[in-house]
Amino acid sequence: MSSTPTGPLGRLGVWVTDHAKLVTIVWLLAIVGLGAFAPQVEQKLSGAGWQANGSPSVQARELAREHFGGNASSAIQVVVRADEGPVTEGDGKEVLASVTRILEEEPRIADVIAPMPGATLSQDGSTGIVLAGAGADTNEMVRVATDLKGELQGLSTDTVEVNPTGSSLLWSDFNEANLDAMLKSELMSWPVTLAILVLAFGALVAAGLPLLLTLAGLVASAGSLVLINELVPVSIWAMNFAMMFALALGIDYALFLVVRYRAARAARHASSAVEERAERQRAIAQTMDTAGKAVLLSGLTVLISLSAVMIVPSPSFRSMAGGIMLSVVFVLAATLTLLPLVLFRLDDRINKLALPWARSGEHRSARFAAWGERLWKRPLVWGLASVVILLALAAPVLGLKTAMPSIKVLPEDASARIGYDRVQESFGAGAPGTLQVVVDADEADTTRQTLGADSGIAAVMAPMPAADDSGLVLVQAVPTVDPSDPELAETVERLRADLPGSALLGGAPVENLDLKTQLDESTPVVVAVVLVLGFLLLLVALQAPLISLLGTLASLLSTAAAFGVARLIFQEGHGSGLLGFESQGFLDAWAPVFFFAMIFAIAMDYTVFLLASAKEHFERSGDPKAAMVGSLAQSGRVIFAAGAVMVAVFFTFALSGPIPPKEMGVVLGVAVLLDAFLVRLVLLPVLLRLTGKAAWYCPAWLRRLLPTITFAHD
């Protein structure tokens, strides 16, 4: 090793190369040990958890499950419809008996209730609903739905149709459709990703490293999620999002390190094996102290941004954020320990199978240097143009509407959707979203009268006394409108004001409304926390308050623009035919809070890469122009390639599956497209140009408070 000072990450890189066997064994044990559990991820992870913990609707559901034979929102409804004659006679009667037998044989089902006139048997007698009470929690009931729906649908005959439906079936069908979409998207994205990486690296071996690295991190994180699920329920969406996010970030991080290592090796030459090893270790140290430091800070920014989602007290959101964070930790660990070892071992062989025009040692891009010179000469023109485009795309966000997903998120042939439609046809528009009120027995009559007097209620069922001595009564009511109609929220608000004090109003649509309310309340807090923590981390990393603030605020422009485009597509329906979906007339309620954290995490990823490179050049030269142009020349190509990979990954999710993955693909894809190519490669360099040395100024008192972090390396 040379006498050049080596930072902690540089020393880590050298340590890894000196302890290659230990590092290899540890990673093999992690990948093989945790990977053994990975195949179970689809069966083990939970399918529910979309609820507002502590809300009255969740309390009502738990009381209904405990005291009323499982007659809760998570109960399974089996819709049996006869084409000829009453469903309670002939073939229909035989099918009903078979449905009842299957449900009663399932130990996770509580009480099984046959169709009842005036409640679950239609007036013409053609349609009946067999209610299978929830004998387990919501996550397990989704598994029950998955296990039974095929067998139940198989009871259909030429004259009798059987379709299980209800909240548990909805999530079962949705998770199944979502998983299929994720697999299709992954199959589409990997070849496109590899092609972009080959073009970016100019060599097949180098291009394959990010994919292998990401795969290692994904396998380990998948196995970990299965183990964590034994302690705390983890949503299947945690794995879905983790797969997508880890792939995108893992490629980003590997790109940055591989490009830097190739440049470091191209600049050195040795005459002996001893010198050769020393020079390779110096290259590793230099790579880790520069690109590795940027990757670590970027990873911390991503983790901090996603941790803010934990503020939302909903199991699904917390487990999704936790799943992504876990995958990022594994990918980050692999990038900072496994990748340096692989680079050290392969060395020049990473350039094998190179493209004819590839120049592996080229670290500084002449094209991006020329682009930086162009921005330096005419900053106002380019800066104003980028701001105008971003503001124009962001303008529609002012009319953005959000709601919990409707039945339209399911394919038309899904059992839950067919059953939903049959219930509406036979029992009225609001029948699939029956409201449930759990109340003290002495207030049952008042509750029934209040429900019957409300203009938003079409029918009220007879009170059901508790099966035990709890003194509770369950009163169910059918609203006049579809569960996703905005009028239902007004009805629920009126009823909560008018019902007796002991009453808890619940039901699947009310649980959705309570979750939306919680999300609406949490979103401003999450946004504020993400912005503040993101700024503080940039401040610590760059030691420059002004550019840290500008870099943080610039991320808001691309985020707002992405949601503006999302409104035009998903709320207004523009392009719905091209993307193959039926507009719900709104964006799903979780999008603002969850996608904002994800977008900001990605945006700050590029911000750290660009500004860390700019700070490195400024530390060397003290020249703002050298910092701005040099950062583009050094990191512009990496940001461009990484952005192209992310856009390809995210947009593949917009091409298949139900609406939520499409929303995710479009919102994140547009955000990355705008952020990587317009904000980070145009607007942020322009801000560096306009602020000059002030961008890097730090008051002495603040510098004393901050830890010393430098990026320059000889």
- Identify the band that residue 355 occupies on the pLDDT scale cut at 50, 70 and 90: low
**Dist CA 74 CA 51 (whole Å):** 12
Q: What is the CA radius of gyration of the chain?
A: 29
435: left (phi over 0), alpha (psi -120 to 50) or beta: beta
**Dist CA 342 CA 27 (whole Å):** 12
- Least reliable range by pLDDT among 152-161, 414-423, 533-542, 573-582: 573-582
- Identify the band that residue 126 occupies on the pLDDT scale cut at 50, 70 and 90: very high
- Identify the band that residue 712 occupies on the pLDDT scale cut at 50, 70 and 90: low
Q: Which pLDDT score is estimated for 354?
A: 65
In sequence order, the 6+-apart residues with CB closer than 8 A to the CB of 184 are: 655, 656, 657
Q: Which amino acid is at 657?
A: G
**Dist CA 288 CA 292 (whole Å):** 4
Q: Model confidence over 642-688: pLDDT tens digits?
A: 888 888 878 887 776 678 778 888 888 999 899 988 999 999 999 99
Q: Which pLDDT score is estimated for 360?
A: 47
**Dist CA 672 CA 608 (whole Å):** 15
The gap from C-alpha 385 to its chain's centroid, in whole angstroms, comes to 31
Q: 667: exposed, middle or buried (C-beta count within 10 Å: 0-12, 13-18, 19+)?
A: buried
CA distances for 287 relative to 20, 120, 256, 267, 294, angstroms: 18, 68, 9, 13, 10
- Identify the band that residue 362 occupies on the pLDDT scale cut at 50, 70 and 90: low
What is the number of other CB atoms lying within 10 angstroms of the CB of residue 278?
15
Say if residue 2's pLDDT is above 50: no
Q: Provide the whole-model pTM.
A: 0.84
**Dist CA 353 CA 348 (whole Å):** 11
Report the candidate in 434, 454, 437 with the shortest Cα–Cα distance to residue 501.
437
- Identify the band that residue 359 occupies on the pLDDT scale cut at 50, 70 and 90: low
Inter-residue contact 236 to 278 (CB < 8 Å): no
Q: Model confidence over 214-249: pLDDT tens digits?
A: 788 878 888 888 888 888 888 877 777 777 777 778
pLDDT > 70 in the chain, percent: 95
CA distances for 412 relative to 175, 259, 420, angstroms: 15, 47, 11
Q: Which pLDDT score is estimated for 713?
A: 52
- Identify the band that residue 499 occupies on the pLDDT scale cut at 50, 70 and 90: very high
Q: 480: exposed, middle or buried (C-beta count within 10 Å: 0-12, 13-18, 19+)?
A: middle
The gap from C-alpha 500 to its chain's centroid, in whole angstroms, comes to 40
| Helix, strand, or coil (residue 458) | strand
Residue 607, phi then psi, degrees to nearest 5: -60, -45
Query: DSSP assignment of 82-95, as one string?
Result: ESSS-TTSHHHHHH
Report the candidate in 191, 102, 5, 57 with the shortest Cα–Cα distance to residue 503.
57
The gap from C-alpha 15 to its chain's centroid, in whole angstroms, comes to 35
**Dist CA 327 CA 214 (whole Å):** 9
Report the candidate in 479, 439, 429, 481 with the shortest Cα–Cα distance to residue 459.
479
Say if residue 639's pLDDT is above 90: no
Task: Report angle CA 406, 571, 407 to the nearest 5 degrees.
Answer: 10
Place of tokens 């209730």: 113
Between 73 and 236, residue with greater pLDDT = 73
| Helix, strand, or coil (residue 517) | helix
**Dist CA 41 CA 709 (whole Å):** 40
Say if residue 628's pLDDT is above 90: yes
Structure tokens at 464: 């059901």
Q: Which pLDDT score is estimated for 17?
A: 93
Mean pLDDT, rounded, for 467-492: 93
Q: Which own/partner pairs from 94-99 qualify as long-range (CB within 8 Å, at least 24 positions apart)?
A: 95/155, 95/156, 95/157, 95/160, 95/162, 96/128, 96/130, 98/155, 99/130, 99/152, 99/155, 99/162
Between 672 and 5, residue with greater pLDDT = 672
Say if residue 510's pLDDT is above 70: yes
Spell out the SS3 assignment of 30-49: HHHHHHCCHHHHHHHCECCC
Mean pLDDT of the residues in the chain: 87
Residue 462, phi then psi, degrees to nearest 5: -65, 140
Mean pLDDT, rounded, for 537-545: 89
Report the candidate in 438, 459, 430 with the shortest Cα–Cα distance to residue 56.
438
Mean pLDDT, rounded, for 546-570: 91
Q: Where are the alpha helices (DSSP H) in 230-307?
A: 236-266, 273-287, 293-307
Q: In what order do the strands lie in the sheet with 76-82?
A: 109-113, 127-134, 76-82, 160-165
**Dist CA 95 CA 85 (whole Å):** 14
How would you classify the pairing of strands 504-506 and 464-465? unpaired
Q: Which pLDDT score is estimated for 420?
A: 95
The conformation of residue 707, written as its DSSP 8-state character, comes to P
Structure tokens at 36: 């053994």
Inter-residue contact 427 to 122 (CB < 8 Å): yes
- Identify the band that residue 48 occupies on the pLDDT scale cut at 50, 70 and 90: low
Q: Model confidence over 148-188: pLDDT tens digits?
A: 999 999 999 999 999 999 999 998 888 887 777 777 777 77
Q: 436: exposed, middle or buried (C-beta count within 10 Å: 0-12, 13-18, 19+)?
A: buried
**Helices and strands, counts by H and E, the chain:** 26, 11
Q: Which pLDDT score is estimated for 248?
A: 76
Cα of first residue to Cα of last residue in the chain, in angstroms, is: 13
**Dist CA 201 CA 19 (whole Å):** 28
- Identify the band that residue 1 occupies on the pLDDT scale cut at 50, 70 and 90: very low
Task: Say what angle helices 545-566 and 684-691 make with each other, to 10 degrees.
Answer: 150
Say if residue 714's pLDDT is above 60: no
